[in-house]
Amino acid sequence: MKFVDEYRDARAADRLSHAIRRITRHPWSIMEVCGGQTHTIVKSGLEDRLPPEITLIHGPGCPVCVTPMELIDKAIAVAMRPEVIFCSFGDMLRVPGSSRNLLSAKALGADVRILYSPLDALKLARRNPERQVVFFAVGFETTAPANATAVWQAEREGLENFSLLVAHVLVPPAMAAILDSPDRRVNAFLAAGHVCAIMGYREYEPLVERYRVPIVVTGFEPLDLLDGVFMAVAQLEEGRAEVENQYSRVVRRDGNLPAQERIAEVFEVGPREWRGIGAIPSSGLKLRGRYRGFDAEERFPTAEPPAEQPGDCIAGLVLQGIRRPRDCPAFGNRCTPENPLGAPMVSSEGACAAYYLYRGRSENTWTGI
């Protein structure tokens, strides 16, 4: 295949759907890790093309969604400081904190700017030496190389008015936490192809060995996901548990070694709190050693009290794949993209946003995108 529309072809989807039906003999639950994959699944109506024995579970694969409320409150407190230019990806501006979000902070006078790269924040710091420029470093391993490079460059230039508010989370520890849960329903995973483009898939091999659960590295187009489901079901029905790479046009086993080296130089692994899930050991990144001076949490200490998710929001259960967005009593009425109670309704990769945007799709209708 050479072109995007080839990965969205209805006839090819029919062939894959029939192949999945032919090999399915038992009920299986398969979790896609990435929220971008969730949006493709819901928008394209992929679940309607699977046999009733196959259940797709939407996992915690949205770094915007799992950024803890306390860190959103900290971001707002930093952004409200008059000397600060606070920079972020656009998704983060509407994620609710305990009382407001970054967009409402901007309306109150905070200098909050949407950027597409931390390197643009470096340019701002160079142009505004009298201001403190803070970049909200959110993401999985996918965005870590660019954030690490920004700090690496700032250190070499001696840019003392640049810092990161770090909210990086790591995928394999979250998968292990799901597999260790007493509520575990997952029989196999579709791993996020963009994360594996950076990190490779060696780090999934110990998970497969420990838990005997198939993991298929999968892309983001409809046919990628159907092919990934076919590969996972084939393993399950044959009693195998391996790491397989459906996304071979992008992903290699060892990943991007220069990117990994830059991450390892600037960041170190530490515990991280996941919104709606709780603390997961060794599941986050923090600035190490010589780069710790670029940590916005240390540069701008704040004392934010613990924040609680609204009682009628089940975002935590949705992020763990225990409940579906439509199971939430607030879904579509008290919780909408315009007035979200939880982060999964805000993010462009959130499961609740996917269901809200595409819930009008008629069943058994292939949209391809």
Which two structure tokens, joined as six digits, stand for 90? 């656009």
Please give the helix or strand (H or E) that residue 227 lies within, else none.
helix 222-238
Q: Where are the domains of the chain?
A: 11-60+179-245, 64-169+255-299, 315-358
| Ramachandran region, residue 239 (left: φ > 0; alpha: ψ -120 to 50; beta: rest) | left
Domain topology for 64-169+255-299: Rossmann fold (3.40.50)
Whole-number pLDDT of residue 245: 98
The pLDDT assigned to 2 comes to 65
Q: Following DSSP, what letter does each residue of 291-319 receive, concatenated?
A: GGGGBHHHHS---PPP----TT--HHHHH
Stated pTM of the model:
0.90
For the chain, list residues with pLDDT below 70.
1-3, 304-310, 360-369
Give the whole-angstrom CA distance, residue 166 versus residue 153. Answer: 17
Residues in the chain: 369
Eight-state DSSP code of residue 176:
H
CA separation for the pair 154, 125 (Å, rounded): 9
Contacts of 316 (CB under 8 A, 6+ apart): 275, 276, 277, 309
Confidence at residue 61, expressed as pLDDT on a 0 to 100 scale: 78
Q: Same fold for the domain at 11-60+179-245 and the one at 64-169+255-299?
A: yes
Hey, CA dihedral for 247, 253, 258, 264, is it positive or negative? positive
On whether the CB atoms of residues 122 and 161 are closer than 8 A, the answer is no
Q: 11-60+179-245: CATH homologous superfamily?
A: HypD, alpha/beta domain 1 (3.40.50.11750)
Identify the pLDDT of residue 362. 41
> What is the reported pLDDT for 145?
98
CA 117 to CA 40: how far, in whole Å?
A: 24
